[in-house]
Amino acid sequence: MDPVNHLVHSARLVDDGHEIADAWLLVRDGRVAERGTGDGWRAHVTAADEITDAAAAAGPRAVLAPGFVDIHGHGGGGAAYDDGAEAIRTARALHRAHGTTRAVVSLVTASLDDLARRVAMIADLIETDPGVLGSHLEGPFLDPGHHGAHDPDLLAAPAPDAVGRLLEAGRGTVRQVTIAPELPGALAAIERITTAGAAAAVGHTDADADVTRRAFDAGATILTHAFNAMPGLHHRAPGPVGAATGDPRVTVEVIADGVHLHPDILRIVFAAAPGRVALVTDAMAAAGSADGEYLLGALRVQVENTVARLADGTIAGSTLTQDAALRTAVAAGVPLPEAVRALTATPARAIGRPDLGSLQPGAPADAVLLDEALRVSRVWTGRA
């Protein structure tokens, strides 16, 4: 159990796109009470506080950042989110140890009956686990030609009854629905999804830039794992990535594992959509576990040298954690404050939780302490 009253001092505070040297953070009742620099913390601390000297705990250039928010992941620690509440707890424990204090639980394509049961189960789980922010339906409303690691036999058109059934099963906890906007009825479905309070995401699609723009005009606000399972960015055919990076309403998901995107592309996306990139894991059960054979939904996945693929060679999610994504982004040339923003405030805002992803006074005290090499030393979860 994390202490509800504690203080961290002597850290590089990286938050809201800025870096502050020799910073301290005071937490009261699981929320940020005050913050400052230097020795000012001494006037606020009490005998009841747990005190962490960041420099002593994680080195002289220790970094204190908001807790990471993953809006797209499928499991970890050997467990898949599709397999029930206990599997979700197991996978969440693995990712929390790597800095992810809050996460949306992503579900792969399954039958409507199975998906309805799973989103209802997640709605129940949220009542006792505030680290789970809701569900993300990555299927079944996907283009068969860009199904990726989703079973093409289970894909479906976004008919009103199907969309309505899944949203109702979630009882207001469906946070995100990925949809191919070129499918019949997709634009109407996007409007229904957003009216229900969820974010509609364009992904697993054959749409060109014009169709993608129509989806954004209908209310879609996220691009699911940019470049993957969609037409590429061509100088005469900008496709979904071109439409998304040019639209200030849209958050662009990126999987920074060194496999899904070349580092140069990662750097270009950050430059093209400043403040709108969300570093997600798309992690499957093998994250934090050994190589070998796993299931992703109904499909068998072989993990070799930490890379997950179907038998035909298709990339099948990742084995990524968000601290590793941070290191990859920084190594690619992304400034540390921007990379941290992409793990915190940007994804939180994308799914309607602007109260998360910040360490400003009044915010839940979700925080991650990292060493100079950006490896996690300590994680705290506050009160939402």
- Residues taking part in catalysis: 282
Distance between CA atoms of residues 78 and 70, nearest Å: 18
Q: Are 252 and 277 in contact (CB under 8 A)?
A: yes
Q: Which helix (H) or strand (E) holds 22?
A: strand 18-28
Strand partners, 368: 65, 379
Distance between CA atoms of residues 322 and 339, nearest Å: 11
Prior bond of 158 cis (ω within 30°): no
Cβ-proximal residues to 83 (8 Å cutoff; 6+ apart), any chain: 75
* Assigned token pair, 177: 């629905």
Distance between CA atoms of residues 375 and 356, nearest Å: 22
Distance between CA atoms of residues 367 and 33, nearest Å: 13
Distance between CA atoms of residues 303 and 294, nearest Å: 8
